[in-house]
Structure 1
Amino acid sequence: MTKKITIDPVTRIEGHLRIDCEIDNGKVSNAWSSGQMWRGIEIILQGRDPRDAWAYTQRICGVCTTVHAVASVRAVEDALKMEVPLNAQYIRNMIIGAHNIFDHMVHFYQLSALDWVDIVSATTADVEATAALGQRLSDWKGNSVQEIRATQDRLKKFISSGQLGIFASGYWGHPAMKLSPEVNLLAVTHYFQALTCQRKVNQIVAILGSKTPHIQNLVVGGVTNPLNPDSPANLTIEKLFHIKTVIDEVGDFIRQAMLTDVAAIGAFYADWTTYGAGVTNYLAVPDMPMDTKGTVYTLPGGYIPDGDVSRFTPLVTQHEKTLYDGVKESIKHAWYNGNWDRSPFEGETVPNYTGFDPEKKYSWVKAPTYLGKPAQVGPLAHVLTMYLAGHATTQKYVDQTLKTVSAIAGTTVGIDALHSTIGRIAARVIRSAVLHETLTIQWQALIDNIGKGDLNTFNPPVFPRGEQRGIGFHEASRGMLSHWVIIENGKIRNYQAVVPSTWNAGPRNDQGALGPYEASLVGNPVADPELPLEVLRTIHSFDPCIACAIHLVDGKKTPLAKVKVL
């Protein structure tokens, strides 16, 4: 017997997402992913100065704040064939690295872990046994008896008050929860400690970007950070060394808490390495340029078709012709006028809502393809492509994590296990460790370049008459992001953003192929259709950001709120 369930809205994500599933014999047999908001930023940008686009697009989301700013300035710089000063590249790269680490921490602990960790069970754990477990796994200073007991006492107060607060809506006691009380308590302890680490790493973004969220230091041609080692009003050596201190502190937590937590959870939920693969065409772009022209990158990218590592194709720069020509978007199943499959340069964003119809149009999200096929983007795609590209740091942390999982599970777990729901989560944590080491590289490169006497951070743009086209790529927290701009006589004629959650949350394309969310759900177990925890596990593993994929605009301009600035 087929049972259809609808989860609307999906929570612990950014934005409004609806998931429909058909359940047959305890497994998902079909699925539909529906974005329930419309994005109008493309229309807002038409006719505006290209130098202002980054400030507008950054407001697409309050979570993915830096990423759209970076992609936007890169798009305009690409259109103008500009070079970016080395100092500006390093500063941008540090902002990118710090923001991505912050984002990955939030996803792992606050958004995803609660699908696997039973908060209520943690109150029954033996504190001393939990501390002993943590100390066997790593040397993390936060695994002390005192820290763990304080966490458990905090949880007990929540429960005794009758209000679980931030833990109120979990599936506690669900039969799919497998962790022991001690593992649950250790994970919850790190959940709270992660909040402090998130605040610390975000200081890097705030110092370099002037504020966070929504940095203020980007500009087409570089950054606005004046470099003067002696002036307290500028980016001084003192501020830079404070950043280095923060980098070191956060690194301890990533290596000694996050990596061990994801290995432990992966080992206990080894069966989830067989669920959730879905679309295995993996796409990632190189990022963190180390020269002014964007030809040398710290982090490689590439494309893996059908999960076949023997067919891996490296993407050496962000200016590859296959990237420019290979990306298209379909609106066959999206609420827009027409039924086309086009390059984003020719894309339109004309809304046409016709109601939810799973056979016709059922989402505001478009359906991107690369070389004619859907592609999964995100940390899993990036980690796999970096691993195959021979990136030593990535190989080190992938091998180390798999070794730890194997030791805990008592059986050998190979890299193929990453093609899964749990592998997608593990890849985010592995990528955090890779980004942390990269942050140190960028910091040292900036210090060395300043030491050579180079204080330049900006090259002024020049807008010629006629038409210019540019694409700004960025390997963002949730995967490959691209902004596409057509400039005509110094003004924006067309602008399109193809974001990670468009790639992953998109509906069926014009060939009827399922999007990555949809495909990843097929075959997933569902123990209780009324409590579809397993569906949420796989969807959350992508870290959805539907506000990036689509936006809502009130055409009647109805006031929603008033804010008084004191």
Structure 2
Amino acid sequence: MTTPQRPPDIICAENTFVISARLAGGRVAKTWSTGKMVHNMDFLLGATTEGEAPRFAKRPACICNDGHALAAARAVENLADVQIPEAARLVRNLAQGLQLLSDHLTHFYHFSLSDWLNLGRALRADAGKTAKLAECSCPRPDQGRAAFSSEALQRLTALAQGEGGAFFAVEHWDHPAYAGGPEHHLLVFSHSQAALDIRAKLAEARKLLRCTGPGHPAYQIGGLSKAADGPDLSPEARNGCAALLRQSAEFIRNVFLPDAVLVARLYRHEADLGRSGAFLSWGDFPAGERGEALLPGGVVALDQGLSAQAAQWNQVRVEQEPAWADADASRYRLRFGSGEPEYRWTNDGFHWFAVPRYAGRACEAGPLSRMLVAYAKGGRAVRDEMDRALRQAGLSPQSLDSTVGRMLARALEAASVAKAALGWLDSLDALLGGGKAPVQTPWSLPHSGEGVGLAEIGRGALAHRVRLENGRIVEHDYLIPSLWNFSPRSADGTPSPLERALAATPVADSAHPLEILRAVHAFDPCNACVIRLEDDDAGKTVTVRAK
């Protein structure tokens, strides 16, 4: 008699998210979101147990380095009670905004596009019909018509036949979860190359201003770096940046946003899937002394209506080890019994996910949170943009609380930030035109105290906290967006935003759970992600790499 072999262990060599879901009746019956990651700044800096204090840091080992640099600088500025000069505020807004635009383009066209559209289906489209569709979809159809030439179709065909075929799931072109005809798929896929070109322009704009590099010259404590390789605020640099930004803003307005609206219209029948219910934004892109931030901070709980309350750091509590029931504890600690693979992390410095809550609520962080808070607070620029897009997509503001709403929110935010960025450049021109403006505020640290730096990055709300005692840093930690979104349920049984969003999600094929992948990717996990599906209907367990 042959003894069945246990599946190979799942080796996690980096921060890894693990989402377990039980399927029953073709839908998600229950979900458990957990994982391990580094979330201790002392570990990242190599602090020792013998008392070596960590240093100020602005570059943790993760893919959101710029955001951590900004939040860490703000934490020390809060500790030292420093207000940065106006020129520094504008340059920081530009550096942060250009990065945010690039992040949203990347996520839509090159990370999650195959969740909504399929390259294999696109290649079955009629180019002439697609061009006509573009005339109805894009305010500037001339920008898209060239994409429907035979050259574009040849490029997409070559992509499908190469490594891109697997990346864009070409073989699953007939998956029942896909909506829309081949022409819809071709229209959006044909813009993916142009999106790469725009990303390059945004990177060049940041490079012209010299706001890039490991030193993060735009995010120095007190303002900007005054070193020779600090930000370049010359007229030549500003004019070059403005030209590149105008081209990028035109693409975002006339291609990216219409593409996202088109996809939202195709999937508006799914606007009841993926709800999380509560949203947190620290707010960002601050204005001058008398103005309001482009993205205001706040908390929205939709069970209390579309209104926003102030967001306060002192309302945040983090459960490190919730007292779950035994069955839940086994899944959150990935103990699945005999015959199941074990999850092994190669680094002992990784820790289980903590559980952040805001005034007891499990709050979602990210572009959707920022857009809903801005909408609820009546920000005219954001509200007008959202109302127009929602009418075109056939959605209501409340229906943005959905997987399809998260996708649309990225494009809405990009359009708002691109427009604002041009205004920041104009303000910088006016400020510098009146003479040399200060870029750094002198500062000194108190002997003891605590500072908190809040920032909004592509993935959502980020916070750094620095505590000083007797002139030495005794604590430097941070709370990242993915912990808000992907944390386990709390001790009182409140599920995390992702766990709530996955509830009752239909799954047509557990071997290729497109519907679950779509929901997970919409929350933009910041690291490797594994999905474990217990399919009660088929009597099997399936493991899928989501990222």
Range into which the TM-score falls when normalised by the shorter chain: 0.7 to 0.9
Q: Hey, what's the Cα distance between the residues in 2 that align with 1:226 and 1:446?
A: 20
SS at structure 1 position matched to 2:37 = coil
Q: Is the 8 A contact 1:314 1:389 kept in 2?
A: no
Corresponding residue number in structure 1 for 2:425: 443
Q: Is the 8 A contact 2:114 2:169 kept in 1?
A: no
Q: Deviations over 1:136-178 (max 9, x none)?
A: 2121443114554322111223445697364357743211112
Q: Hey, what's the Cα distance between the residues in 2 that align with 1:381 and 1:9?
A: 33
SS at structure 2 position matched to 1:492 = strand
**Aligned pairs for 1:290-439 within 5 A:** 290-291=287-288, 296-309=292-305, 311-315=307-311, 323-333=312-322, 355-357=333-335, 364-406=352-394, 413-439=395-421
Corresponding residue number in structure 2 for 1:535: 516
Corresponding residue number in structure 1 for 2:260: 262
SS at structure 2 position matched to 1:485 = strand
Q: Deviations over 1:467-503 (max 9, x none)?
A: 1101000121111111111022333210111111111
Q: Hey, what's the Cα distance between the residues in 1 that align with 2:269 and 2:214?
A: 38
Q: Which amino acid aligns with 2:136?
A: R
Q: Hey, what's the Cα distance between the residues in 1 that align with 2:528 and 2:74?
A: 21
SS at structure 2 position matched to 1:286 = coil
Q: Is the 8 A contact 2:296 2:374 kept in 1?
A: yes
1:153 and 2:162 aligned:
no
SS at structure 2 position matched to 1:21 = strand
Residue 61 (structure 1) shift: 1.7
Corresponding residue number in structure 2 for 1:342: none
Corresponding residue number in structure 2 for 1:116: 116
Q: Which amino acid aligns with 1:67?
A: G
Q: Which amino acid aligns with 2:305?
A: V
Q: Is the 8 A contact 2:271 2:399 kept in 1?
A: yes
Residue 295 (structure 1) shift: 8.4
Question: Which segment drifts farther, 139-148 or 523-532?
Answer: 139-148
Corresponding residue number in structure 1 for 2:282: 285
- Residues 212, 135 of structure 1: CA spacing in aligned structure 2 closer, same or farther, 3 A cutoff? farther
Q: Hey, what's the Cα distance between the residues in 1 that align with 2:23 and 2:166?
A: 32
SS at structure 2 position matched to 1:102 = helix
Q: Hey, what's the Cα distance between the residues in 2 that align with 1:104 and 1:354?
A: 31
- Residues 296, 257 of structure 1: CA spacing in aligned structure 2 closer, same or farther, 3 A cutoff? closer
Q: Is the 8 A contact 2:224 2:439 kept in 1?
A: yes
Q: Hey, what's the Cα distance between the residues in 1 that align with 2:189 and 2:172?
A: 15
Q: Hey, what's the Cα distance between the residues in 2 that align with 1:199 and 1:235?
A: 20
Q: Hey, what's the Cα distance between the residues in 2 that align with 1:49 and 1:266?
A: 47
Q: Which amino acid aligns with 2:293?
A: Y
Q: Deviations over 1:190-232 (max 9, x none)?
A: 12211111111122333334435773442111111579xxx99
Q: Hey, what's the Cα distance between the residues in 1 that align with 2:181 and 2:15?
A: 33
- Residues 9, 401 of structure 1: CA spacing in aligned structure 2 closer, same or farther, 3 A cutoff? farther
**Aligned pairs for 1:241-260 within 5 A:** 241-260=239-258
Unaligned segments of structure 2, at least 5 residues: 1-6, 325-330, 338-342, 345-350, 530-547
Q: Which amino acid aligns with 2:502?
A: L
Corresponding residue number in structure 2 for 1:318: none
Q: Hey, what's the Cα distance between the residues in 2 that align with 1:162 and 1:494?
A: 45
Corresponding residue number in structure 2 for 1:22: 22
The count of aligned residue pairs is 498
Q: Hey, what's the Cα distance between the residues in 2 that align with 1:49 and 1:87?
A: 31
Corresponding residue number in structure 2 for 1:87: 87
**Aligned pairs for 1:111-190 within 5 A:** 111-138=111-138, 139-145=140-146, 147-159=148-160, 164=165, 166-167=167-168, 171-190=172-191
RMSD, aligned CA = 3.2
Residue 357 (structure 1) shift: 4.0
Residue 265 (structure 1) shift: 1.0
Q: Hey, what's the Cα distance between the residues in 1 that align with 2:30 and 2:230?
A: 59
